[in-house]
A = this chain, B = another copy of it.
Amino acid sequence: MSTAFGPYIREKREALKKQDKRFSLRKVAQRVGIEPSYLSKVERGLPAPLSEEKIRAISVDLGENADLLLALSGKVSADVQEIIRKRPELFTEIIRQMEDLPDNAVLRLVREVRDGKW
């Protein structure tokens, strides 16, 4: 889908490869469990969708944040979607309201919720 994901992980992978030959496209593909030719297409942004599972495996292998990589490939984590679907009216409302908040305001909310003030 999104053209951003492929080039992004290609760059990350090649950076790692410079210090560690275990990060060749073929080796990564093998560890992740996909065909090298398919990962090649993915990295070049050709139409080659990856499942959430494979994206997660790549994020582990490359040491990247899974939710970021999912976002770059146009997805939202299945567990987050499920949380929303359990209380759709409530959660969609708060998410839409938070859209325009600056990062630091959202972060403050995260902390306050985590610290059990609610």
Return the CB mask of A65-89 against B: 1 if under 8 Å, else 0.
1011011001111011101111111
Chain B residues near A101 (CB, 8 Å)? 113, 118
The count of residues in chain A whose C-beta lies closer than 8 Å to any C-beta of chain B is 40
Q: Of all chain B residues, which has the CB nearest A112?
A: B109
Q: Across the interface, do B95 and A83 meet the contact criterion of CB distance under 8 Å?
A: yes
Q: Across the interface, do B88 and A68 meet the contact criterion of CB distance under 8 Å?
A: yes
Q: Across the interface, do A85 and B97 meet the contact criterion of CB distance under 8 Å?
A: no
Q: Across the interface, do A92 and B113 meet the contact criterion of CB distance under 8 Å?
A: no
- Which A residues form the contact surface with B (CB < 8 A)? 65, 67-68, 70-71, 74-77, 79-81, 83-99, 101, 103, 105-110, 113-114, 118
